[in-house]
A and B are shown apart, each in its own frame.
Chain A
Amino acid sequence: MKRTNLLSGFFFLLLVAVPAAGAGAEEKAVIGAVEEVLLLPWGVKLLARVDTGATTTSLDARHLKVEENIATFQLPDRYEGMVIRVPVVSWKEVRSAGGKEKRPVVEMDLCIGARRIRARVNLNDRSMVNHSLILGRNVLRRHFVVDVTRARVQDPVCPVPRKTEKQTPPAPHPLPIPE
């Protein structure tokens, strides 16, 4: 009897200690190569490319303009061209094939699975690219591990504030309608 108790104690310790030792990785949720992300508080669901090669997260912002430190832009047509206004928190200099470029950085809440993550997102016109949102390492690092064999693993399930759900926040200056 004593021996079995000792044995069970050993396995109990193993059970507690092993996952705790690997806690850094264990707490993270697995996501796939593409994931659905809910943009809060706007409640827009976007299909995001999960990109460990990208330092930061970026969002396809059409008709982007910055006035008095507020970025105003439109999401692509498939998101009903929703207009978003959000304060600029910094600027990011990006080197690309075309040369140097400065992009406004804003803060947004991203809901991935059951997690609501406040993240810095840089804005640029990505009309050439398939995915409207690129999840970079700034979001992935602490929260997720990526398995590219899979896709749409987590369903975004954060509560959406009712008032702003599927509604466009009022834009004081109406944006030009794209052709």
Chain B
Amino acid sequence: MKWSRLFPAVFFLIGLAHPFLLPAGEKVVIGEIEDVLLLPWKIRIPARIDTGAALSSLDARDLRVEGGFAHFKLSQKLGGTPLRLPVIDWLDIRSAEASERRPIVEIDLCIGSRKVRTRVNLNDRSKVRYPLLIGRNTLREHFIVDCLQERCAPPSCEEASSP
């Protein structure tokens, strides 16, 4: 039997298999900046994807904590929606200048095609460009970051697209 007669079969098999040979196929590739949806409200928030941050962070205005709940508003730019979420933990930040305690809450986000429930710390981010920072706690297991790209994975979760 000639080897050339095997080529069709070989290419056929490689052709079938190659989608599975691509690296990290199960993780969603996202850019350095992405618009994500805050669920269930479907509020579109521009986010900086930051592998340097251990914990994600959300811009919370007029923040106060009462009876274990964080009461805050999103910025006017995002519609100023008032939110009330249970505080599940606290983040202690020590810097050269001062120490600070920030409440941590859990939120549902749609990033690319993935819906993820994730922890975020709440603080006033009015001085920084992006109201949401997606840190390593959210990225782990789900996403791969490609800094060459921006807004390459628009939010497309099933839940988000339903009316």
Q: Determine the distance from Cα of A16 to Cα of B24 in the docked complex, in whole angstroms.
A: 19
Interface 1/0 per residue, B69-105 and A, CB below 8 Å: 0000000000000000000000000011100000000
Q: Is A15 an interface position by the 8 A CB rule? A: yes
A147 and B144 contact, Cβ closer than 8 Å, known pairs A50-B51, A52-B32, A53-B50: yes
Could you list 10 further interchain pairs (A-B, Cβ under 8 angstroms) beyond the known A33-B51, A144-B147?
A8-B9, A14-B15, A28-B146, A52-B49, A53-B49, A53-B133, A98-B96, A98-B97, A142-B148, A148-B136
Q: Which B residues are in CB contact (< 8 Å) with A148?
A: 51, 136, 139-140, 145
Interface residues on A, range: 35 or more
Q: Is A157 an interface position by the 8 A CB rule? A: no
Residues of A near any B CB (own CB < 8 A): 4-5, 7-12, 14-15, 18-19, 24-26, 28, 30, 33, 49-54, 97-98, 128, 134, 137, 140-142, 144-149
Which 7 interchain pairs have the tightest Cβ spacing?
A: A11-B15, A51-B52, A53-B50, A8-B8, A8-B11, A146-B145, A4-B8
Residues of B near any A CB (own CB < 8 A): 7-12, 14-16, 18, 22-24, 27, 29, 32, 48-53, 95-97, 133, 136, 139-141, 144-148
Q: Which A residues are in CB contact (< 8 Å) with B9?
A: 4, 8
